């Protein structure tokens, strides 16, 4: 069983829709990252959080440590949001430098 599970695997939305991507993990963590992987392969860090909620523009990330669950929300989605969104965790069992990744969620936003 993967230590980090994301859902859905694939998501297709119409422009303007509210998007939610979920991440569940089974290990103790010190922090959780949301990353965006562009079609060309490059990875961009969106958020790093260990509690509560963070917002950046149209993106919102929340985490519930007790439930071992995090969500990434995109408001007013746009075709340029189309990418793979990856959840990754820093596990407490390691030195704190090792990210464990989910499989990613492929998001396609149609105009």
Interface residue with other proteins among 30, 51, 75, 108 (CB under 8 A) is: 30
| Interacting positions 53-92 with other proteins (CB under 8 A) | 86, 88, 90
The stretch among 11-19, 57-65, 73-81, 100-108 that binds other proteins (CB under 8 A) is: 100-108
| Alpha-helical segments (H) within the chain | none
C-alpha–C-alpha distance, residues 1 and 111, integer Å: 36
In angstroms, the CA 39 to CA 25 distance is 26
Q: Which span sits near other proteins by CB under 8 A: 11-19, 30-38, 64-72, 73-81?
A: 30-38
Which residue in 20, 3, 2, 22 sits closest to 92, CA to CA? 3
Does residue 2 sit in helix, strand or coil?
A: coil
Binding site for other proteins (CB under 8 A): 30-31, 33, 35, 40-45, 47-48, 86, 88, 90, 94-104
């Amino acid at each position: 069983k993967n230590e980090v599970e994301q859902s859905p695997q694939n998501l297709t939305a119409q422009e303007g829709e509210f998007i939610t991507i979920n991440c569940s993990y089974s290990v103790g963590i010190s922090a959780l990252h949301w990353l965006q992987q562009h079609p060309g392969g490059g990875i961009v860090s969106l958020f790093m959080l260990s509690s509560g909620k963070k917002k950046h523009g149209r993106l919102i990330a929340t985490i519930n440590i007790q439930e071992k669950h995090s969500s990434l929300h995109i408001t007013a989605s746009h075709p340029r949001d189309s990418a793979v969104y990856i959840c990754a965790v820093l596990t407490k069992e390691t030195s704190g430098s090792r990210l464990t990744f989910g499989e990613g969620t492929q998001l396609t936003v149609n105009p």
